Amino acid sequence: MADRLDVAERLAEGVPAVDHAQSYVRACHALGYQHPDLTAQPAQLRDWYGTEDGLDLRALDRDCAELRAAGEAVTEALRVQRAQVAELAAAWTGPGGDAAVRFMERHCDTAATVAAELRAAAQRCESLRDNLWYLVDAKVATAIAVDDGTQAQRPAWLAAAATVITGVGDRQAAERVVREQVLPYVDNEIRDDWLTTMRSTRDGVATSYDMVTERMAAAPAVLFDAPTDLDPGCPPVRPAPPTAPPVAVTPAAAAASPPPDPAPTA
């Protein structure tokens, strides 16, 4: 049995069952059986089964642990900061101290929001991890169970299917087995139970991802205030407007003195 969260190993356990089902479907298709989700291409059942190939739930599990650790780190930092707010309130009194305390309290409130969202993100990712594993595990179990239901007939059915597909052997007898025994199995168990499980797994995986991403996208944006002037009674200091550079004044030419009065005549 595959280790929990080992998707590749768990999927590998169901591959022989899928190969058997694929052989049956190909043989039926060679005799005229048609279904858009089973016979559109030679390896269609393998494609249905492999929709979760490459899914790494162990990487997601590590992400969950890192989110948990980040939430714990922020929570511890918040605890230290709240203690510092109390010390600040005791050490700094007056309007400026009150403004500083209010600023730090707002900072703590924002940090608390961040810590809560980190914890929520960890929980969502853990739920996603568990849901995905359940879907993959159930899919493999269904594929194996459907195949095991014909365990007694399997050798004869596989031989008949191979003869119909390759043309090697007693084709007439093989066609009779496929038409009378294999085709009803394909049109019932494979088309109904098997295919329904593959579809629901694919849709369930997509829905699980969508739910988590939508909830994370809906998380409120947070903004830490930047300290400016902490005294509510003091207007903010604004820089003085630039003064114009002094203009050199060139003195005007001195006005000509009036001519002296003429000397009196005799």
Best CA proximity match to 3, nearest among 65, 58, 52: 58
pTM value? 0.79
Residue 175: predicted pLDDT? 97
Q: What is the largest CA-CA distance in the chain?
A: 169
Cα angle 224-227-228, degrees, rounded to a multiple of 5: 135
Contact (Cβ atoms closer than 8 angstroms) between residue 194 and residue 142: yes
pLDDT per residue of the chain (266 residues) written in tens, 0 to 9: 789 999 999 999 999 999 999 999 999 999 999 999 999 999 999 999 999 999 999 999 999 999 999 999 999 999 999 999 989 888 888 888 888 888 889 989 999 999 999 999 999 999 999 999 999 999 999 999 999 999 999 999 999 999 999 999 999 999 999 999 999 999 999 999 999 999 999 999 999 999 999 999 998 888 888 876 544 555 554 555 655 555 444 444 444 445 444 444 44
3-state secondary structure of 194: helix
C-alpha 83: how far from chain center = 35
Taking the CA of residue 124 as centre, how many other CA atoms within 13 Å lie in the half-sphere pointing to its CB? 18
Alpha-carbon distances of 30 from 11, 134, 152, 219, rounded to whole Å:
28, 35, 24, 54
First to last CA, the chain: 148
User: Would you say how long the chain is, in residues?
Assistant: 266
